[in-house]
A = this chain, B = another copy of it.
Amino acid sequence: MADSRSSRSEGLGASSPAPAVTRAAAVLEALAESPSGRLTLSDLSRELGIPKSSTSNLLLALEEARLITRQGADFALGRKLVELGAAYLSRLDEVQEFYKYCEQAPTLSGETVRIAMLDGDHVIYLARYEGHPAVRLTSNIGDKMPVSLCSVGKALLAQLHDHDIDSMFPDGMELPTMTANSLKTAEELKAEISTIRQQGYAFEDEESTVGVVCLAVPVPTHGAHGPSLGLSVTALKATYSEEQGALMVKELKELARSLGNPMG
């Protein structure tokens, strides 16, 4: 990837109120995005454009905080991040309620349900309820997915204003694809979004995984702040029927309404 993200391309000229912190965050991100999850001091220094000596200082401080670990010559993410991530999730009441609802819902309790959050042009899965052992998801909690490739992503996009969508996906932009059914262009995505707005839920037909369909609804954002959440059910296309889909959408919407209501 190298140049793709670069929050501050090259010398991070744009002033940060605490440059060391911004750089430390960049180090964590670089480690998270690295395929092997392990990088040497020199790798990081080169990739992020930070002098080696400074990088060394950052790494020492991060290591002391256990945000990263040293493994021989390599550095990798540290276990403290698991703690912090869990602390974040434990504060999301929505996740707790999500589990409770799924367990007692007539249709959903037997399905594979997930709750996800919008994060830029990706979606992060926050929790997963597995009522249907036949559908084994390869995705784990915390995993990221491009918005255009999953039903939750599209459902969450549909909630945004058009100008936000346009700035994220300017006309003519090509989208990442995973199957033959994946949406390929920004135009296709926008057409899909208007359909979603009309029918009130998103449908995904083998767009990320062959043989698998998904249904998703957004959780109405409560108040001003707080991230946008979405819910999805995953099913095998072979056994999926429209009536079943209707039932699932109904329950998803009910759960979404209850999550969106601050009074639980």
Contacts and interface: CB of A to CB of B under 8 A. Distances in A.
A9 interface: no
A20 interface: yes
Interface stretch (A69-77, A163-171, A188-196, A237-245): A69-77
B28 A84 contact: yes
A110 to B, nearest CB: 12
A77 B66 CA distance: 17
Please give the count of copies of this chain that the complex contains: 2
Interface centre among A87, A91, A119, A227 (most CB of B within 10 A): A87
Interface in A17-51: 17-22, 24-26, 28-29, 31-33, 37
A142 B17 contact: no
Contact of A22 (B22, B31, B65, B143): B65
Interface in A121-159: 124, 126, 130, 140-144
A82 B126 contact: yes
Nearest to A63: B17
A64 B14 CA distance: 12
Interface stretch (A54-62, A206-214, A248-256): A54-62
Which of A18, A91, A227 has the most chain B CB within a 10 Å cutoff?
A18
Q: Which 3 A-B pairs rank lowest in CB-CB distance, beginning with the nearest?
A: A86-B142, A85-B85, A25-B65
Interface of A: 7, 16-22, 24-26, 28-29, 31-33, 37, 56-58, 60-62, 64-67, 69-72, 76-91, 117, 119, 124, 126, 130, 140-144, 225-227
